[in-house]
Amino acid sequence: MKAARYRDRSIYFKEQGLTTSKFVIPFINDYLTIDASTRVLEIGCAEGGNLTPFLEMGCECVGIDLNEHQIKNSIDYLAEFEDKYTAIAKDIYLINNGGDSPDIGQFDLIIMRDVIEHIHDQGKFMGHLKKFLKPNGKVFFGFPPWYMPFGGHQQTTGNKTSKMPYIHLLPNFLYFGMLKWFGCNPQQIDELAEIKETGITIERFRSVVSQNGFKMDKEQLWLINPNYETKFGLKPRKQLWLFKILPFFRNFVTTCNYSIISLK
């Protein structure tokens, strides 16, 4: 059976808000002062948990996600902020794209937590992202690098494979065969196969940032993901300096990358 947090989305919603309040906002504050005048966009917002602390600070927030059910949940969960929160269930490429596409303007801050690793053609996406960013705006990314123990998101399966680190790095025939053997249904296997296609490494992320007209303002690699505090009660740990200078080994023991980027 899947963990409660994957069945009850309100639990996930609360987790996101707690981590963003305690770790993400302080990380961003070094490069952008957040107050009631700040416009915030979250791409891949799901139920909008990450936006809760920004709304509590008086920010105007927009959340975009392809999943209509999760967008409806976000409207319910954030009903008290209806005058400050706009939720949109739409493909990001169909927004701010000219013609008849809706225009939501530009933002001081764009946040993406656990999203970039699900996006196909990340270079194309980064190019489109510029349309939403004010000239002096910032983009925050938080994501699990591909080579980390559960970079394939196999922890979501709800069977024995959910506790098997690094199996996503196996050749496809072994990995998918193992998923099927332990009871994953075809839909789960398809979802994990897609992540195997889109998963992003630390080096790939840096390259996509640089090649698409952005610069890296700040990067923090984590040995223990800040979100693990609310999920598992583990104290977050920044990556050890020794691992930072051993790139190949570092990739296997970095559970999260926090980055702030801006236009060159």
Q: Alpha helix (H) ranges present in the chain?
A: 4-7, 9-19, 25-29, 52-56, 68-77, 122-129, 172-181, 186-198, 202-211, 228-232, 241-244, 247-253
CB contact at 8 A, 42 and 50: yes
pLDDT, mean of residues 247-264: 94
More confident residue, 12 or 190: 190
pLDDT band at 12 (very low <50, low <70, confident <90, very high): confident
CA distances from 230 to 19, 58, 91, 118 (A): 7, 24, 30, 23
Kindly report the backbone phi and psi dihedral angles of residue 238, in degrees, each rounded to the nearest multiple of 5, phi listed first. -70, 155
Question: Tell me: the pLDDT tens digits for 18-49?
Answer: 999 999 999 999 899 999 999 999 999 999 99
Question: Tell me: the pLDDT tens digits for 84-101?
Answer: 999 999 999 999 887 777
pTM, two decimal places: 0.93
Domains of the chain listed by start with CATH number: 4-147+199-243+253-263 (3.40.50.150), 154-196 (no CATH)
Residue type for 182, please?
Answer: F
Angle between helices 172-181 and 186-198 (to 10 degrees): 150
pLDDT band at 5 (very low <50, low <70, confident <90, very high): low
pLDDT band at 7 (very low <50, low <70, confident <90, very high): low
Question: Tell me: the pLDDT tens digits for 126-149?
Answer: 999 999 999 999 999 999 999 999
Amino acid 4: pLDDT: 53
